[in-house]
Structure 1
Amino acid sequence: MNVLLVLLLAVTAAVAQVSVAPLFPVSAATFDFALASSALLLVFSGPRAAMFALPLTAILLGFVTDRSPALLLVGYLPLLPVAAVLADLHVPINRYAQLLVAGLSTGLFVRLLLALAAVAHGAAFPPGVVVWQLFLPGLLLDFLLLTIVYFPLRFVGWDPKSMTLRRSGFAA
């Protein structure tokens, strides 16, 4: 995929995260456009484009929000290994299910990491409230966003790519 298009997608995801996502909260959670754009880029463009876009999106999102770019980068990084493990294990599920498993597990990890960072800065951490008002609504919103964007892209003819890198070099 063209580098300029990946850059445009990263900027659009960061801007949408701070301008559109707060308009549609569910309890304490909002849509995670950065996660959705990186996950969909992974599915439709492959891991190389996602490896470029994921850190760029996390850093841009950190710059436009009050969150640490490094914390966001650490939070979004599990997307690539989870998708690669699912592809390497040859689990008999389709790309949509792989996208959901990788995207939802990464979304849960990001929210857990951000909640733990808030606790480290002195916020209260009542587990029941965090689970019912942050984690579960966040999973629902991630599921909806990934589904709402995935199926129209498949409908217009975009085919999913392999989620693993081609092996080469000494280990091949």
Structure 2
Amino acid sequence: MSATLARRSSVRRSPVHRYRSPARRSGTAVVASAAVLLAAGCRPSPGSVCTLIDSESGVTATWRPADFPAGSRFRFCADARCREREAPVPGDGTSAFLQVRLPEEDGPREVAVRFTVTDPADGGRVVHDRSARVALRAVTPNGEKCGPTAWQAGVRADPREGLVVRG
């Protein structure tokens, strides 16, 4: 072993202490205290932890494209707000959906919905037209003590059963 390497390995290293002025130490304490207070102020109640999952109010219709003529056009309305789409490529057991968004402040109430299917191969004739009323339910994805609260409902469109309200 060389003499230089022996000296380096035998030198005892002491911990490095950095000097911080009293002003800098108090500044760090103020920032840390502010962070703790902000975090505590964001909680709805002591001991509760909220996630940040978002949710929107609306009504959703689902269906199996294979249950309707190939190439159909689907229209779903809730409270006079409508969405449309063409049929996805049918597959085994696949499902499709349309969601109509509603104002966030809707609250618990009933909503009139309508689901229509037109067949472009048959000159745009309506081959399925069903209506129902659904009750909006509160959905709180982050827990009841945490926001947001969204109001949602859902139906499943079936050519034989009509619109089946999802529970």
TM-score (norm 1): 0.29
Q: Which has the higher strand share?
A: 2
Q: Which has the higher contact order (CA 8 A, sep 6+)?
A: 1
Greater helix share, 1 or 2?
1
**Larger-Rg structure:** 2
TM-score (norm 2): 0.30
